[in-house]
Structures are given as C-alpha cells and as structure tokens.
Amino acid sequence: MASVSAWSWDGLISVAWEYVGVAIVLAKLYVVLPIYKFFYSIITSLVNWLKSLYLPFKSK
C-alpha cells in the first residue's frame, strides 16, 4: 500500500485501485462458489448413497 495523501490525485488513484482489488476478489468468489457447490453436492450424494447401501447378506 502506498503512503500518499488522501486528498491528492495519487490518493484518489490509490483508493480506486483498492476498490478494483475488492471487485476482483468478489468476482473470483462469484466464480468459485458454484464450483464448490457442485463438488459438495456430488460428495453429499455419494455419502447418502453409501449410508443407504443395501448389501444382501444372509443373516442366520
């Protein structure tokens, strides 16, 4: 982070770049969350399938 005065053009540009950085982080989050949700649903389905798995063993 640069050490500039808040009331100068350099300060304004610095603050603008900070907002751009926040927007980039939010865009990455917007892209990554559906991917995580997809993998989470696959894992949840697999775990539920394993919990309800029926193995036909004879019990005496």
Residue 26 domain-assigned (yes or no): yes
Residue 43 domain-assigned (yes or no): yes
Domain tally for the chain? Answer: 1
Residue 16 domain-assigned (yes or no): yes
pLDDT digits (tens, 9 = 90+) for 23-39: 999 999 999 999 999 99
Residue pair 10/2 in contact (Cβ under 8 Å)? The answer is yes
- pTM for the predicted model, two decimal places: 0.60
Query: Residue 11 CB: number of other CB atoms within 10 A?
Result: 14
Residue 33 domain-assigned (yes or no): yes
Q: How far apart are the first and last CA of the chain?
A: 73
Residue 2 domain-assigned (yes or no): no
The yes-or-no verdict on residue 10 having pLDDT over 60 is: yes
Residue 39 domain-assigned (yes or no): yes
Find the radius of gyration of the CA atoms of the chain. Answer: 25
Q: 56 or 18: which carries more pLDDT confidence?
A: 18
Across the range 5-23, mean pLDDT stands at: 88
